[in-house]
Amino acid sequence: MTPHAFAIGDVHGHLDKLINVLQSHRLLDFSLRWAGGNSRLWFLGDFFDRGPSGVGVIELIMRLQHEARQEGGFVGALLGNHEPLILGARKFRRQKTSFGMSFRAEWLHNGGRLSDLEALNEDHLNWLLALPAMALEGDYLLIHADSQFYFDYGNTILEVNNHIHEILIGDNDHEWDELLAQFSRRREFLHSEEGEHRVDDFLRAFGGKRVVHGHTPIPYLRGVPADEVCEAYFYAGGRVINIDGGLIYREGNGFVFPLRPLNTDLEVGNLEAHSVTVSVDIPLSPPLLEEMIQEIFVETHVEAYVEILKPIPLEVIPLEINTLEPSIAEGLESKIVTKSKRKRKSNSKKME
């Protein structure tokens, strides 16, 4: 049986919230030990700053890596932009960056906590310096930042990870400064057709079928209260998935995102597909409608083709959904209608 795989976005020093969300998904028991068995869990970076206990967060992750390995599981962690920030503050202190501030001042400006800087020891530093910037987990390309800046450091995952590692173990403050500037980029997959092309290039180069990232909080991106965010945000035709649940906000609780294997049979045409026509009573543009349906496919471990049968604008939009099994096609109808009603209600509230 294939192990379950999960990912969690930016933690930013909020150890208590992290413990709660891991326990709620039965990946951590009440004695704070690994409870995920042979599951695989990825953290997408930004363990430090803004919250009270960045060092506490990485100590928990380091211990879970060891405990998961003993159970046949796996815990991985990526480098976020706040890791080079605190490492740069420790290494270069009052040397100036291109922003005109010292490395230390830039880190403090971005929510740095002196208690974390003072608590860093050699074990923490060695662990942080070894973190990869990118990883591939099944069908999912895992990164921290929703940006193409990774191309500036290589054209394969190995090249990017090695290049950034060499910078972090080196003493070239200009390369560090440039890395911090590049890592601050965001929202580069978001904008309609241009974003779609960038996703194509990104997946073609680095592999995977979906990009999963953190870095840009979903509450900020969607303009909604943090306590309303309890699931991932899908965009770029469902091929990019933001899992930064907004733990940096007081009301944010975060979530764990399941990295379910994607069904490839429809793409390669191995099996005969079945179809059902669904009428959706919601005024959404075709891209938003398809994005909503892609969310359902990922949540329900299903992939399908979506075809809008009549041109927009229409308030009742007929869709043809093609899947491998008749029962799946029929079951999707109720999920699509339910979710569309929820979105319509949400849109109505925003307009009031």
Q: For the chain, how big is the Rg over CA atoms in Å?
A: 21
pLDDT tens, residue by residue, 194-224: 888 899 999 999 999 999 999 999 998 888 8
Kindly report the pTM of this predicted structure: 0.78
Q: What is the CATH number of domain 5-258?
A: 3.60.21.10
Q: Which fold has domain 265-351?
A: Ribosomal Protein S8; Chain: A, domain 1 (3.30.1370)
Per-residue pLDDT of 101-145, as tens digits, reads 999 999 999 999 999 999 999 999 999 999 999 999 999 999 999
Which sign does the torsion angle of CA 37, 43, 47, 50 carry? negative
**Structure-token match 């208690």, residue found:** 115
DSSP state of 33: -
Angle between helices 173-183 and 157-168 (to 10 degrees): 130
Name the residue ranges covered by the structural domains of the chain.
5-258, 265-351
Q: Could you give the C-alpha distances from 159 to 135, 155, 162, 164, 216, in angstroms and in order?
A: 12, 6, 5, 9, 25
DSSP-assigned states of every residue in 115-129: HHHHH--HHHHHHHH
pLDDT tens profile 257-273 = 999 887 544 333 333 44
Give the H or E element holding residue 291. helix 286-299
